[in-house]
Amino acid sequence: MTPALGHIPAEQTPQSVTKKCQHSSPSDCAKAKHKTFLELLFDDPANAPAIDPYAEGERRVCAAVTARTDAGSARPKAAQKPAGTDGLGSGGATVRSGGATVPHRGNGDHPLLLSSQEINGFKGSSTVQRWTMLRKIQKLCKPENDGERGPSVRGCGMPREGAPHVNIHLRYGEQTGELRAGVSGIYRCGSPWLCSTCAPAKALKRAEGVQAAADATYKRGGMSALVILTASHSKKMSLADVRKLVQDASSKARKSRAWVKAQEEFGILGAICGPEVTYSKENGWHYHQHLSVLTDGPTAGEIAAAGGDAEKLRKFVAARTQAAGDWLAETYKEKIRAAGGKVSDKHGCKVRVAHDAADASEYMSKGSMAWEVAGGHKDETKAEASMTPWDIALAADAGDKSMYARWREYMSVMPGTKSCVISAPLSEKLGIVVEDDVEGDEQVLHENDDVVGRVVSPLWKRWMRHGLASTFLLRVEYGGEAGFADAVEQTNADSDVIGKEKEEETVTDMLARLDVQREEQTVALLTRLEQEVVEWREAASLERAAVKAYQHRFDLTATPANIVEIAGERIRQRADAMGQRAVVAGIVDELAESYGVRIAESDALRVAIAAPDWQREIEAIIPGRWLSREEVAALRMVA
């Protein structure tokens, strides 16, 4: 490892394996306090107390780092090439270049210096944008009280416990045409609602399940009714209230006896629900649901009525599917009004039949999921006043107190909300298998041959704390494999600037300290291994002695000494259940009858107690060997 840089070549350490993370929620008391705090801000945002998501000092440092970025060197974007060509990770041999150890694959010419115009014009891929957003979100999710644990997104991107390094990848995206940097060997929170880096993978995984269900439905001649469910809302309503109103009405509409009858009448196979939430400065929170109601293929009556006309048959199925969607929308409205809510007959719900399987799956990927799949927040929303959660986070990070309150409210309500779940009964009907959507696993987004380098875990943690992870990935994307060492060096320099403001040690001092600690750990490990070798040799010697001592089991003569040994072993075998003295007399009588030799009870008890630990351990593994009738007869003859 190069101490000044803190990264190592790809092939020198094994690829890490992450484990699922366990996360506990805050106490009920903390939740109640947090809810009161949000209500105060929500009721009167204009008079809300000043809230700075992070210290002003760090903001100034970040600005200084940004201003001096154009002084660094990195590989020009023109030098980047698609996957499979020079310039991407090879995971192969390594060479020294500019004092850094980096993988080598024939593209090692020294990176060119960048002008400020060049670097300012390069924004990087959507991956870099998501990492930038992650840092903002992690600060916005900081617990209000010391000692409390925030949501799991605050730990997203950190090296897994015990991992010596993180892997840095670089690959060409065939679908997007982007050259993307990535990281593996880290903890992933898996939150589709709060995490900008985990949301895309979660959305794609869900989209695959929705696509599989749509394909299976249309393959059997069925169709999908696309339904959107909303309710009237105002700025005075909290997100929790709007969500509960819509969610409860939708759930009740699909759990009543009438739903069972509707399934039979319209041939409904099941429904897939995808929630979405936006915020309007005029009307407040807008929580609504997108549903795909899947209906079965043609019935016998429809086939007979069509008389072999395929187009007529398709229209029959489409009409039945439209009726299924209309029924659900009307039932939902009844539930909304029964709960005291309001819903417009004209604009509250919309229903249409999907043109095909692709249309059905694409519809379920709308809204916030479209952001997740595309990999970046929208530059413009449908209306200037309509904001996605990511828009709210950006405004809150910029210092908007009201939007900070909105984000904290969103953060407390939406995580854990299920989206696009394919139920087990629906999967069984369609004959598909959908994997469980579990949070906390590491997402496998890269392959070994995409690795362009590795960064030791303590250094990556430091970059994460200083908000430099996205800066580093941007430099990797710009500089390619040959510019990896320079990207590390520049990022370390930026980290030193921020560390100085925070009165932290320099990167060089930190890595040197870690080297000393590593040497001490190595010495301790070698000492422990030497002790284990000695213990192993002693154990082997004891084992040989045990085997020799236990030879009496296989080559005995009926002498009093041998009979005492057998008695002692039998006493130990039975003593756990009855106690030693309770079994001694019976064992002595038993042996006298078997071998014709009577021993003193005191001698048998003394031998039973005097057995060493190793002998007892062997007896636990290999229970006392009861002699066969032939062996007993032979002993009697000898006696």
Ranked by mean pLDDT, the top range of 80-94, 107-121, 237-251 is 237-251
Q: Which position has the higher pLDDT, 428 or 98?
A: 428
- Average pLDDT on 142-171 reads 89
Q: How much of the chain, in percent, has pLDDT values that exceed 90?
A: 40
Hey, which of 336-340, 509-513, 552-556 has the most confident mean pLDDT? 336-340
pLDDT of residue 68: 47
pLDDT of 548: 58
Q: What is the pLDDT of residue 146?
A: 80
565-583 per-position pLDDT tens digit:
888 888 877 775 556 667 8
Band (494; pLDDT cuts 50, 70, 90)? very high
- Residue 108 in this model has a pLDDT that exceeds 70: no
Q: Which whole number is the average pLDDT over 297-325?
A: 94
3-class DSSP state of 294: strand
Say if residue 111's pLDDT is above 50. no
pLDDT of 339 above 90 = yes
Kindly provide the b/e burial profile for residues 206-215, where b requires at least 16 CB atoms within 10 angstroms of the residue's own CB. bbebbbbbbb
pLDDT at 633: 57
- More confident of the two residues 62 and 48: 62
Residue 448's pLDDT band (cuts 50, 70, 90): low
Q: Does the structure show a pLDDT above 80 at 395?
A: yes
Residue 634: pLDDT above 70? no
Question: Which of 36-40, 378-382, 465-469 is least confident?
Answer: 36-40
Kindly indicate the confidence band of residue 217, based on its pLDDT and cuts at 50, 70 and 90.
very high
Residue 18: what pLDDT? 33
Tens of pLDDT, residue by residue over 49-71, are 444 444 444 455 455 545 544 43
| Between 284 and 532, residue with greater pLDDT | 284
Q: Are 74 and 181 in contact (CB under 8 A)?
A: no
Tell me the C-alpha distance between 615 and 293, whole Å. 71
pLDDT of residue 166: 92
**SS3 label, residue 72:** coil
Integer Cα distance of 50 and 60 in angstroms = 18
Share of the chain above pLDDT 70, in %: 67
Q: How many CB atoms lie within 10 A of CB 260?
A: 12
Taking a C-beta distance cutoff of 8 angstroms, is the pair 449, 90 a contact?
yes
Three state DSSP letters for 374-424 = HCCCCCCCCCCCEECHHHHHHHHHCCCHHHHHHHHHHHHHCCCCCCCCCCH
Decide: 178 and 392 in contact? Cβ < 8 Å.
no
- Predicted TM-score of the model (pTM): 0.66
Q: How far is CA 637 from the centre of its chain?
A: 73
Q: How confident is the model at residue 320 (pLDDT cuts 50, 70, 90)?
A: very high
pLDDT at 330: 95
Higher pLDDT, 418 or 616: 418
For position 52, what pLDDT does the model report? Answer: 44
For residue 316, name the pLDDT band (cuts at 50, 70, 90). Answer: very high
Task: Give the count of beta carbons closer than 10 Å to the beta carbon of residue 504.
Answer: 16
Does residue 266 register a pLDDT over 80? yes
pLDDT band at residue 202 under the 50/70/90 scheme:
confident
Of the two residues 618 and 599, the one the predictor is more confident about is 599
Instruction: Give the least confident one: 412-421, 499-508, 613-622, 628-637.
Output: 628-637
Among the listed ranges 151-160, 517-526, 599-608, which one has the minimum average pLDDT value? 517-526
Evaluate whether 119 touches 110 at the Cβ level (below 8 Å): no
Q: What is the mean pLDDT of residues 558-562?
A: 78
Give the chain's mean pLDDT.
Answer: 75
Q: Residue 609: which pLDDT band, with cuts at 50, 70 and 90?
A: confident
- For range 471-496, the mean pLDDT: 91
CB 554 within 8 A of CB 566: no
Q: Is 222 or 100 the better-scoring residue by pLDDT?
A: 222
Q: Which pLDDT score, from 0 to 100, does residue 10 have?
A: 42
pLDDT > 90? residue 332: yes
Provide CB contacts within 8 A for 210, sequence distance 6+.
272, 274, 292, 360, 361, 364, 365, 420, 422
- pLDDT tens for each residue of 346-360: 888 999 999 999 888
546 pLDDT exceeds 80? no
- State the average pLDDT over residues 246-255: 94
What pLDDT shows up at residue 19?
34
**127-147 pLDDT tens trace:** 898 999 999 999 999 998 888
Number of Cα atoms under 13 Å in the Cβ half of residue 136: 20
